[in-house]
Amino acid sequence: MKRILIVTGQSGSGKSSALQVLEDLGYYCIDNLPLALLPEIVEKLDQENNLEQLALGVDVRSTRQDMQEFDHVFSLLQKHGAVDVIYLTTRDQELIARFSASRRPHPLSSRFNSLNECIQQEKDLLLPIQFRATVHIDTTDKSVHDLKHVLLSKLGQADQLIVILQSFGFKHGIPLDADYVFDVRHLPNPHWDLELRKFSGLDVPVQKFLESSAQTNEMFTDIYQFLEKWLPAFAEGHRHYMTVSIGCTGGQHRSVYIVDRLKRALEAKWSVQVLHREMKHWS
């Protein structure tokens, strides 16, 4: 077996959807097995089946003791292939909204009085697995199609570092899956020019406006030089991806421009994927 993925995260954050996507990508998927049984199951599959890719869904229905012994389970699984942990997370208010809409009980609802308490307790229970996670995905604003795109970006090239450049708006919340966050809200804002407001950072009028600012050019140079210096170190550490998030107020002009410019500067040396998180909000 060449690759094993452990898919876990907060209930309601999209674990089942992620497993469906992985199944479409050719992974043999198993869901909701107790952690303690995983090494035995994987060993049997490895002996009796010619599997290249295996995805295992894990959640808090495993016992607390199993969760605490996750490092031991992880080391046993490594005997059968490269192991990555995908951890899905979602903001608390969005989780509450999803459970209210679906009317399904939280897996911990029989043990705690409120949904909010279930969510907080689940985070604590999952900490031993979260610490091992090599792929973090924030599904707060993502559809199933968005999730598939992110999984393809983060898993598509196992032996090559993928640089994911993400623009976002601070007023919509900081991305939970970012490795680095750069704040560009201090740069001149095209939003206050009525002629530029309707455009995005991908459009020439906004690009010309921002390129005329020395402060914008200095900020871009600093971010670019930082990435040029440190991306090789992450690649040498066998990281599969690096998510760099650039934020402005609304996620339409300044952050989009910096992401687009970074993409053009980096793609000669690196595999680059771009996500504009707030595109649905653009006027």
Q: Which residue positions form the known binding site for GTP?
A: 59-62
Q: Which residues contact 239 (CB under 8 A, 6 or more apart)?
A: 134, 161
Separation of alpha carbons 224 and 240, rounded Å: 20
| Distance (Å, whole) CA 209 – CA 23 | 46
Beta strands 135-138 and 82-89, pairing class: parallel
| Integer Cα distance of 249 and 246 in angstroms | 10
Q: Which residues are annotated as a binding site for ATP?
A: 9-16
Which residues participate in the annotated binding site? 9-16, 59-62
Q: What sign does the dihedral 34-38-39-41 (CA atoms) show?
A: positive
How buried is residue 160: exposed, middle or buried, by Cβ count under 10 Å (0-12/13-18/19+)? exposed
> What is the spatial distance between Cα 170 and Cα 21, in angstroms, rounded to a whole number?
29
The helix/strand/coil state of 125 is helix
How big is the CA angle at 67 (ends 61 and 71), to the nearest 5 degrees?
Answer: 145
CA–CA separation, 230 and 90 (whole Å): 28
